[in-house]
Structure 1
Amino acid sequence: MRLLAILIVCSLFSTPALAEQRYSTWSDPERPAAGRSDRQSKRLLEFIDRLKALTDSAEQSRAADPLFLRDLRDLARGYDRPWRKLLLSDDFGDGDFTANPPWTVTAGRYRIEKSWGLRAVLEPSGGQSSGRQERQKVSGRDAALAILGAVLNKSVRQPESGRRTGDAGAAEKPAFNAIHTAVPISNAFAIELELSSWNDRGGFEIGPYQGAARTSGYRLAYSPGARLELLRATRRGASVIDISAKPLQFEDRKAHRMEWTRRADGGMTVSVDDEEVFNLFDRSFKDPFDGLIMVNRGGDIILKRVAVFGVE
């Protein structure tokens, strides 16, 4: 019996060694190798550049039917990504939003939620109602315009202590949170976002701005259960450019992807989780933008990642 017990123990210790000799690490043959996707994207962009150059040459020498050349341009445009210069990238993994790149809080409070991102912390004032009945009285469009109007018409000065803590002051609790980062953004841009929403209240806006007062620019406005809106903000106020065909709901505590592109001719597209929401033209702004601004009112939004690309 003693000998049998020793043999069983020895076999238990030797099994992993035999398994290591018998089996090797398996790699999925259908999974792209590291770096392959980047190389393929680079080759595709090189092909598009050559196609556009050949189309330009053929057009100048009148070597092909103009309708055929137009079709070639449309084909190239469908696969081209002219926004190849990285202007801003932040996943807030360093735990500090005041540097690299620096974000400036102008209303409310913000903090870094570990492994999640930049989180707006709203402390409602005594006059605010948090009941569902009160929220239903305000449409997503009215709420978005009210938020934007408050930002455009009210400048909240930040005390010295606020710059260190991300607090815009405790003496008067604002009805919204606002934060921005000053970074030159070309008129044609691509903005990539990952964000999550943790309650079904309030609203959220983000977009590029022009001017030190941050009163002009574009805004994407989201309200839980409402339709996404694309806004145009100027010194005279805000107006709605377009509204999504169906409501959006991010309140599943998962990160949702948004991509917003603008071309040199004013063509803009917005997609949410790889589904196109907007495809339109707007030429209201012809100059570069001066930064990116975010506004939150009553919601619990976490920005996990943001990247902005521009053109040379």
Structure 2
Amino acid sequence: MREKTRVISTARFSLPAVCVFFALVALSDATPVQAQQRYRQWGNPDGARSGSGQTQKFVDRLNRLIIEAAKSRAADPRFLNDLRDLARSFDRPWRRRVFYDDFRDGNFTTDPAWTVSAGRYWVEKGWGLRSSIEPGPAAAPSGDTGNKRLRGKDAAIAILGAVLGQAAGNRGGANAPAPAALTSVAGIQTRVRITNAFAIKFELSSWLGKGNGRGQKQTGKFEIGPYRGIAAGAGYRLTYRPGGVFELLRVSPRGTGIIDAVSATALEDRKPHAIEWTRRADGVMSVTVDGKQILSATDRGLRRGFNGIQIINRGGDYIVKRVAVYGVN
């Protein structure tokens, strides 16, 4: 009787394990050669980096097998966890594109519509959405009566430049010359519903301003990320500081906290760099630059979705060539 029970238990384990084994074999055999034989090459830039949709189908099947095996307790939990990690490395759940803009039309105020909340932005023809803020002098202490004021002709020129610059920035015109910055921050955002698990792809180039040559300390910061409520509300932000420092931030009513930071390759070569930032349903976030992972961290502080994406320039000269946002079903 014991032997019979043992045989049944072994068979119960073997069937899901064998199914998983063959799923893994099929996944490993999904080579680009076979994919090309079955499907024609598709030049969609929004396609998954992992290859054809056939790989994703195998991952979905493997995930279903793992769920069934876990429910029936047909395999060792540690073995199932290893399988989940393997499937996660191939899985791309962000399959629904919810936003895209490459600024080729030379305008950012329509289709889709961006709103400038501070400073100014313009479309640099052939490059993308640009904002430039030169580092300003240190602020004078509060109550200081020695502040230098603009008078006469200088004041009139400054006011006229600010008015003309704001008017050009609000129109979203292309190739608008950048006047002297009268602010230390520039912000722009657009409304779009984004799931809590998301993928944001964008191309960024960083341009050194005058007086920021080699050997000098770089100041300023570029920020991008989804927000909830108003643009300055809760959300996540990926920041870049000239010199190669990347940070993941969580913004909440309690303040801003650093989730993780890393010093990576600097982007000050005036060339577009492909950056991808993903967040999974379990809070795991990853950042890659030109296909190389530089950050991986977990944060579950914000569990609901978002209703917009924002870009902030806190000092520097940056161009966003294109940006795409993906959500989960």
TM-score with structure 2 setting the length? 0.69
Which of 235, 251, 270 does residue 217 from structure 1 map onto? 235
Amino acid at match of 1:189: F
- After superposition, the Cα gap between the structure-2 partners of 1:113 and 1:308, relative to the gap in structure 1 and judged at 3 Å, is same
Offset from partner CA, 1:108-165 (integer Å, 9 cap, x none): 11111111100014377xxx239xxxxxxxxxxxxxxxxxxxxxxxxxxxx9986435
Structure 2 distance, partners of 1:123, 1:226, is 18
What SS does the aligned partner of 2:246 have?
Answer: strand
2:305 is the alignment partner of 1:262: no
2:103 is the alignment partner of 1:89: no
Number of residues of Structure 1 aligned to a counterpart in Structure 2:
247
1:275 is matched with which residue? Answer: 292
Offset from partner CA, 1:260-308 (integer Å, 9 cap, x none): 1101111111111212111111011001011111111231100001111
1:228 is matched with which residue? Answer: 246
Structure 2 distance, partners of 1:77, 1:305, is 27
1:176 is matched with which residue? Answer: 185
2:128 is matched with which residue? Answer: 117
Structure 2 distance, partners of 1:226, 1:68, is 39
1:85 is displaced (CA, Å) by 0.6
- After superposition, the Cα gap between the structure-2 partners of 1:232 and 1:35, relative to the gap in structure 1 and judged at 3 Å, is same
1:236 is displaced (CA, Å) by 3.0
Amino acid at match of 1:290: N
2:143 is matched with which residue? Answer: none
Which of 112, 117, 128 does residue 101 from structure 1 map onto? 112
Structure 1 distance, partners of 2:255, 2:77, is 43
Please say if residues 108 and 176 of structure 1, whose CA atoms lie closer than 8 Å, have aligned partners that are also in contact: yes
2:205 is the alignment partner of 1:188: no
Structure 1 distance, partners of 2:233, 2:172, is 25
Structure 2 distance, partners of 1:105, 1:123, is 18
CA-atom RMSD in angstroms: 2.7
* 103-112 or 194-203: bigger deviation: 194-203
What SS does the aligned partner of 2:121 have?
Answer: strand
Structure 2 distance, partners of 1:55, 1:91, is 39
Please say if residues 283 and 300 of structure 2, whose CA atoms lie closer than 8 Å, have aligned partners that are also in contact: yes
Structure 2 distance, partners of 1:221, 1:60, is 41
Please say if residues 243 and 265 of structure 2, whose CA atoms lie closer than 8 Å, have aligned partners that are also in contact: yes
What SS does the aligned partner of 1:109 have?
Answer: coil
2:35 is the alignment partner of 1:35: no
1:71 is matched with which residue? Answer: 82
1:257 is displaced (CA, Å) by 1.2
1:129 is matched with which residue? Answer: 137
What SS does the aligned partner of 1:56 have?
Answer: helix
2:152 is the alignment partner of 1:164: no
Please say if residues 123 and 173 of structure 1, whose CA atoms lie closer than 8 Å, have aligned partners that are also in contact: no
Structure 2 distance, partners of 1:83, 1:188, is 8
* 206-215 or 277-286: bigger deviation: 206-215
Structure 1 distance, partners of 2:54, 2:294, is 28
Please say if residues 90 and 101 of structure 1, whose CA atoms lie closer than 8 Å, have aligned partners that are also in contact: yes
- After superposition, the Cα gap between the structure-2 partners of 1:102 and 1:235, relative to the gap in structure 1 and judged at 3 Å, is same
1:214 is displaced (CA, Å) by 2.9
1:100 is displaced (CA, Å) by 1.4
What SS does the aligned partner of 2:268 have?
Answer: coil
What SS does the aligned partner of 1:254 have?
Answer: coil
1:58 is displaced (CA, Å) by 1.9
1:36 is displaced (CA, Å) by 8.1
Amino acid at match of 2:70: E
Please say if residues 107 and 172 of structure 2, whose CA atoms lie closer than 8 Å, have aligned partners that are also in contact: no
Structure 2 distance, partners of 1:282, 1:91, is 30
1:41 is displaced (CA, Å) by 1.9
> Any stretches of 5+ residues in structure 2 without a counterpart?
1-32, 139-165, 213-217
Amino acid at match of 1:233: V
Structure 2 distance, partners of 1:282, 1:232, is 8
TM-score with structure 1 setting the length? 0.72
Offset from partner CA, 1:27-79 (integer Å, 9 cap, x none): xx9xx763289695211111111111111112222222322222221111110
